[in-house]
Chain A
Amino acid sequence: MSLSKIWVFVEPSESGVSTTSLELITAASGFASTVEAFSYGVGSEVGQILGEHGASKVVVANGLNGVLAGTAIASIMAKRISAEAPDAIFFGSTAEGRDAAARLSAKLDLPVLTNVVNLSLEGGVLLSENAVFGGSEVVSARFKSSGPGLYVIRAKSFAPEARGGSAASVEEVAVGDIGSAGKAKIVQSHVEARSGPKLDEAPVVVSGGRGLGQQDSYQMIEELARLLNGAPGASRAIVDAGWVPYAYQVGQTGKTVKPTVYIACGISGATQHMVGMKGAKNIIAINKDADAPIFTIADLGIVGDVHKVLPKLIEAIKSRS
């Protein structure tokens, strides 16, 4: 028995909607006969791709006027929830997704399940699998309460699949007054440029960590990534240190990547980092400490100094082309 309706929070990207959003729409359409998207900052053309992935309607919030998107979407969902009675609501495990789920949860007294990595339908009830202890254990959980369950789902838990449905209808709604939560406003956005393929879609990811020793050494990471047509990534340690922007961060609080090969340079392999990259087909690690946890998951581990290994590796690859 499938569910009747699931709502999905769909986030925009430069190319329309985010890949994670399409993953969630695809997953939802496997569990419910009706899937409706809630979005912002997108044009009506997204109806096409959302429809192909299984949504029949997209509600687009207009007039945010700087209000944080998660807050705005929670307000719109809260107003319609009792009349439209969805069985479940899916959010991506992003800043905006968590904001929206948290606001909605407290507004309507609904519980949230976070870090969801899989879902199944058993006896008409959604059962979620949630990664705990940095992904080393998985718990299966379900809601005991009535009312829609809120699920915050990690990226790349489901494969996006265009099944060729017709375009989703587009309904535009004004955000309107959202009370005190709406007093936080974006006054300016700053874009930190990055080049090359997108980190979460690149077939090769070369990441650097604190073992690089200093910001300048990150150039080696960028150069190797460029030579391999890959994307440069980073551990949180060097993002927090301000060496590279947050958009480079791989891990629990950053991007989840599943490339053909992931090359970790000077990264210890904390569980929060590994949860974002252990789905890679192949893993190469370079670390001077033979006991670094990253070696427990590496297909090829090099115990060595990044300052010695990387320059030679870069030269060797350059001399091939």
Chain B
Amino acid sequence: MNIAVCVKQIPDQSVPGKLDPGTHNLVRDGKLILDDSDSYGVEMALQLVDRAGGGEVTLISMAPNGEVSGIRTALAMGADRAVLVSDPSLAGSDALTTAKVLAAAIRRNPFDLVMAATESTDGYTGTVPVQVAELLDIPSVTFAKKVEIENGILKVQRQTESGYDEVECPLPALVSVTAGVVEPRYPSFKGIMAAKSKPVDVLDVAALGTGPLTTSQEIVSVRAAEERASGTVVVDEGDAFQQVVEFLEAIKVI
């Protein structure tokens, strides 16, 4: 069982994001970390390979600036190797361009399953995984909250508006997971040490051989969204519920 896991490396989310005033692209300088959303896919892939009794977990990542910190975190969790596509020309790529790059990188090694998160934390288009699946000409199942493989068949519980669907599909396939799918492990000290010597192939767009990539969206302007002002804050001394009652009365809810 060989699994390719898409892992996005993103700026630390505790620091507010910025757009470049000139290009309006997301500023992605400095250290990048593993998107939390992708740690679930990494964990799920490690468990599936383990259950299958052998195979490799290959990380696939695209970042404009050669950054590998986030990849190292996922390698420390136990992934075997990584392919990083890094090229300054990829700064500000749209979802489709990103998908083209990821699909080309995935194709370089044999795979049975491609894993991604339902949406990334910083871009959250939620379209990249299925675009990758279409480019690879494989079936996809999004919003997975449970993933199993039995006799070469992928079995997924897929979240729906009213509950969940059991979806089945033959491999190779792509699955995008939610944060409820599995509990990611923390890298152990041993894992962190081992990650330092695991192979990371770094490629530029020319080496990838996708042909020309163009982003066909243009950001015209950026503004701050209207902010909602805060109101009264009271510390509960045992009777704050009264204030809630009065508030609900005032707006005629009760």
Q: Chain A interface (Cβ within 8 Å of chain B)?
A: 68, 70-71, 93-95, 98-99, 101-103, 105-107, 109-115, 127, 131-133, 135-145, 152, 179-192, 203-204, 228, 236, 239-242, 245-247, 252-253, 260-261, 263, 278, 281-284, 286, 290, 295-305, 308-309, 312-313, 316-317, 320
> A86 CB to closest chain B CB, in angstroms?
17
Per-residue CB proximity of B227-247 to A under 8 Å, as 1/0? 010111111101111111101
- The total number of A-B Cβ pairs within 8 Å is 263
Q: Chain B interface (Cβ within 8 Å of chain A)?
A: 16-17, 19, 24, 26, 94-96, 99, 118-119, 124-135, 137-143, 145, 158-170, 173, 178-180, 215-225, 228, 230-236, 238-245, 247-248, 251, 253-254
Contacts of B228 in A (CB 8 A): 278, 283, 296-297
Max chain A C-beta neighbours (<10 A), residue from B160, B219, B234, B238: B160
Tell me what chain A mostly uses at the interface: helix, strand, loop, or mixed.
Answer: mixed
Contact B248 A228 (CB under 8 A): yes
Contact A95 B230 (CB under 8 A): no
A sample of 25 cross-chain residue pairs with beta-carbon separation below 8 angstroms, ordered by A number, consists of: A94-B161, A102-B95, A102-B131, A109-B96, A137-B222, A138-B222, A139-B219, A141-B220, A179-B137, A181-B137, A182-B139, A183-B139, A184-B169, A187-B166, A204-B253, A228-B248, A240-B178, A241-B180, A242-B180, A246-B159, A260-B251, A261-B251, A302-B240, A303-B235, A304-B235
Q: Which of the residues A127, A133, A180, A313 comes within 8 Å of B220, measured between beta carbons?
A: A127
Contact A181 B165 (CB under 8 A): no
**Distance between Cα atoms of A290 and B232 in the complex (Å):** 12
**Distance between Cα atoms of A106 and B128 in the complex (Å):** 10
With A114-B125, A298-B231 known as contacts, the answer to whether A180 contacts B217 (CB < 8 A) is: no
> A300 CB to closest chain B CB, in angstroms?
5
Closest to A130 in B: B219
Contact A180 B138 (CB under 8 A): yes
Contact A313 B163 (CB under 8 A): no
